[in-house]
Amino acid sequence: MIERELPPKTFVYHRVPANLRGSTLYPLNQLREIHPDLYEELKESYASRPDIAALRIPPLGNCLWNDVLFFSPVHPARHLAALEAAGHTLPSQWRRYFQIDAALIDPAKAVIKESRQVLWSGEFDIDEGSAVIGRECVPFRAASLMQYDDVPAEMREYYATVQPGSSFPLFLKMAQILYKGRVNLDLPGVRVIEV
Q: What is the DSSP letter of 103?
A: G
Provide, rounded to the nearest whole percent, the portion of the chain with pLDDT above 90.
74
pLDDT in tens, 98-138: 999 999 999 999 999 998 777 776 778 899 999 999 999 99
**Lateral strand order in the sheet of 69-71:** 69-71, 176-179, 110-113, 137-139
The C-alpha atoms of residue 44 and residue 34 are separated, in whole angstroms, by 17
Q: Is pLDDT larger for residue 140 or for residue 53?
A: 140
Is 57 a member of any domain?
Answer: yes
| Pair 49, 122: CB distance under 8 Å | yes
Structural domains counted in the chain: 1
pLDDT in tens, 138-155: 999 999 999 999 999 999
Amino acid, single-letter form, for residue 161:
T
Is 90 a member of any domain?
Answer: yes
Is 1 a member of any domain?
Answer: no
Is 86 a member of any domain?
Answer: yes
Count CB atoms within 10 A of the CB of residue 114. 16
**For the whole model, what pTM was predicted?**
0.91
Count CB atoms within 10 A of the CB of residue 9. 11
| Pair 101, 189: CB distance under 8 Å | yes
Among 109, 108, 101, CA closest to 10 = 101
Is 62 a member of any domain?
Answer: yes
Instruction: Report helix, strand or coil for 174.
Output: coil
Is 2 a member of any domain?
Answer: no
Residue 171: phi and psi, rounded to 5, are -120, 25
Residues 6+ apart with CB under 8 A from 139: 59, 107, 111, 112
User: DSSP for 145-161?
Assistant: GGGG-S--HHHHHHHHH
Rg (CA), the chain: 17
Is 3 a member of any domain?
Answer: no
Is 6 a member of any domain?
Answer: no
How open is the CA angle 36-194-150, to the nearest 5 degrees? 100
User: With 90 as the cut, is the pLDDT of residue 85 above it?
Assistant: yes
Q: Whole domain around residue 82: which residue ranges?
A: 11-194
Residues 6+ apart with CB under 8 A from 47: none
pLDDT in tens, 17-36: 989 999 999 999 999 999 99
